[in-house]
Amino acid sequence: MASESVPDHQDHSPGTDHALALADTDLLRFATIGSVDDGKSTLIGRLLHDAKTLLQDQIEAVATTSARRGHEGLDLSLVTDGLRAEREQGITIDVAYRYFATPTRTFIVGDNPGHAQYTRNMATGASTAEVAVVLVDARHGLTTQTRRHVTVAALLGIRQFALCVNKMDLVDWSEERFDSVVADFLAVTDRLGVEAVIPIPMSALHGDNVVDRSTRTPWFSGPALLEYLETVSPAPVGDATGARIPVQLVLREPGDGRPTRLYAGMVHGGPLCPGDPVVVLPSGQTSTVERIVVGDDELVVALPGRSVAITLADDIDVARGDVVANSASAPAVAREIEATVCWFNEDPLGAGARLVVKQGTRVERTVVREVVSHLDIERLDHSEDLDELAFNDIGIVRFATAGPLVVDRYDDDRTLGAFVIIDEKSDRTIGAGMIRAWS
């Protein structure tokens, strides 16, 4: 398989992406979502190719593989299908992240799988995105899986959508067909409370309206996709609280007397400065930020998204899993939570199920109190008729946890408002939750 490898110099892990985010504040994270075979991988490959962000060796490797497989020209979906299994199966099974830049903005794109059985991977990939790029095959229109992806993206807090009605060349660039798909899509997003939708007719395969506006759609006056991505101003997604640091690591620094303890983690929700009064949760102990350091450098302010270590003015007990928060706007502490849950396990979720939740840097055992309602993906109505969530279902669930969680509503804080559900026996992630309420 070595000869099939496409050089991947622009591939970055999410952790590396964060460093890039810090280096350039005008960075946009977007996710491609939609049903399988609607053209997500081809679109990303076309976007990177036509924006001239691919290296020559990448293009040559794609050309070699394309020729061996008997394709005419470049099969640009190979640019993002980074896993061997994907290439063998011809599908995307995991999230492939890519970084690229144009003269006006830098981007991190998550190419998400379209198959129903990999919806959990799609949810993971979309969880950090600010914009969703939704692919729909013009011939087939919205599928159940497209509706599911759009619903999950909306529940994750994404409010900016680009609707790419793809493969328009296969419907003779029909404006009537384009309008029909757009109307169906808007009927879904209206129900989900999404107001910002930019529809774009395109052929990802041929590059129409991807980077440059196409002459084949004289009836369309909107932007090409890259124009939209370069100019969209994404609304902040769930980051409107005061400063919080979920503690990931406690460090000890030798001193003249007792060693100094530093608490390391990423700041989110607001800036943090030396002198700020803070509360450590769930214990409720209070103190003041004494120093904020990154390596050997001391900061006068730590902005959201910055990984730092802090010291406190008081010698109090702080451990991994605790949250250091601004005292004036602290999150809540709860053992009973109600959440919107996306269920990804083959076994149904019902009352009495015993699981593990990971929220922020904290892990707690939990039991399901009640499945409150079930969301009908086609009608987007909540029903209380079912008391279980089946594979890929979305519903509202009440949990009780063995220990306290430090929580915010997901709409206010993506970090403390979200959790994943883990099967203790297999250690697999089998669900994702977005907190709505607590007691």
How many angstroms separate the Cα of 391 from the Cα of each of 149, 310, 430? 14, 42, 9
Q: Which amino acid is at 189?
A: T
Instruction: Please write down the HEC assignment for all residues of 163-206.
Output: EEEECHHHHCCCHHHHHHHHHHHHHHHHHCCCCEEEEEECECCC
Q: Mean per-residue pLDDT for 133-143?
A: 94
* 285 vs 70 pLDDT, higher one: 285
Give the residue carrying structure tokens 């030396």. 274
Helix/strand/coil for 35: coil
Q: Where are the beta strands (DSSP E) in 282-361?
A: 285-294, 297-298, 307-312, 323-326, 332-343, 349-350, 354-359
Q: Mean per-residue pLDDT for 365-373?
A: 95
Task: State how far the Cα of 351 lies from the Cα of 331, in Å rounded to an integer.
Answer: 27
* 183 vs 95 pLDDT, higher one: 183
Task: State how far the Cα of 79 lies from the Cα of 54, in Å rounded to an integer.
Answer: 9
Write down the pLDDT at residue 238. 55
Write down the pLDDT at residue 188. 92
Report residue 412's pLDDT band, with 50, 70 and 90 as the boundaries.
confident
Residue 359 has pLDDT above 70, yes or no: yes
Select, from the ranges 105-114, 174-183, 230-239, 403-412, the one with the highest average predicted confidence (pLDDT): 174-183
Residue 426 has pLDDT above 50, yes or no: yes
Strands 27-34, 131-137: parallel, antiparallel or unpaired by DSSP? Answer: parallel
CA neighbor of 36 nearest in space, from 166, 127, 151, 152: 166
Write down the pLDDT at residue 246. 94
Q: Mean per-residue pLDDT for 212-235?
A: 93
Select, from the ranges 112-116, 117-121, 417-421, the one with the highest average predicted confidence (pLDDT): 417-421
Write down the pLDDT at residue 116. 61
Mean pLDDT of the chain: 85
Task: State how far the Cα of 356 lies from the Cα of 429, in Å rounded to an integer.
Answer: 10
Per-residue pLDDT tens over the stretch 65-114? 888 887 777 888 777 765 444 544 555 555 667 888 999 899 988 877 65
Determine which of 49-53, 159-163, 226-230, 245-249 has the lowest per-residue pLDDT on average: 49-53
Residue 178 has pLDDT above 60, yes or no: yes
Task: State how far the Cα of 434 lies from the Cα of 415, in Å rounded to an integer.
Answer: 10
Residue 18 has pLDDT above 60, yes or no: no
With pLDDT > 70 as the criterion, what percentage of the chain qualifies? 86
Give the residue carrying structure tokens 């005061």. 242
Report residue 435's pLDDT band, with 50, 70 and 90 as the boundaries.
very high
Determine which of 1-15, 296-310, 360-374, 377-391 has the lowest per-residue pLDDT on average: 1-15
Write down the pLDDT at residue 161. 94
Write down the pLDDT at residue 9. 35
Write down the pLDDT at residue 74. 80
Write down the pLDDT at residue 237. 57
Write down the pLDDT at residue 118. 63
Examine residue 234 and say whether the peptide bond preceding it is cis (omega within 30 degrees of 0). Answer: no
Whole-prediction pTM: 0.75
Report residue 1's pLDDT band, with 50, 70 and 90 as the boundaries.
very low
Report residue 224's pLDDT band, with 50, 70 and 90 as the boundaries.
very high
Sequence-ordered list of residues with C-beta below 8 angstroms from that of 254, at least 6 positions apart, any chain? 260
Residue 423 has pLDDT above 50, yes or no: yes
Report residue 239's pLDDT band, with 50, 70 and 90 as the boundaries.
low
How many angstroms separate the Cα of 111 from the Cα of each of 13, 31, 75, 124, 320? 13, 6, 16, 11, 32
Residue 327 has pLDDT above 70, yes or no: yes
Q: Mean per-residue pLDDT for 276-294?
A: 96
Give the residue carrying structure tokens 């660039």. 173
Contact present, 32 and 40 (Cβ < 8 Å): yes
Report residue 229's pLDDT band, with 50, 70 and 90 as the boundaries.
very high
CA neighbor of 404 nearest in space, from 342, 346, 337, 347: 337
Contact present, 292 and 312 (Cβ < 8 Å): no
Assigned token pair, 260? 């100094």
Determine which of 198-202, 301-305, 338-342 has the lowest per-residue pLDDT on average: 301-305
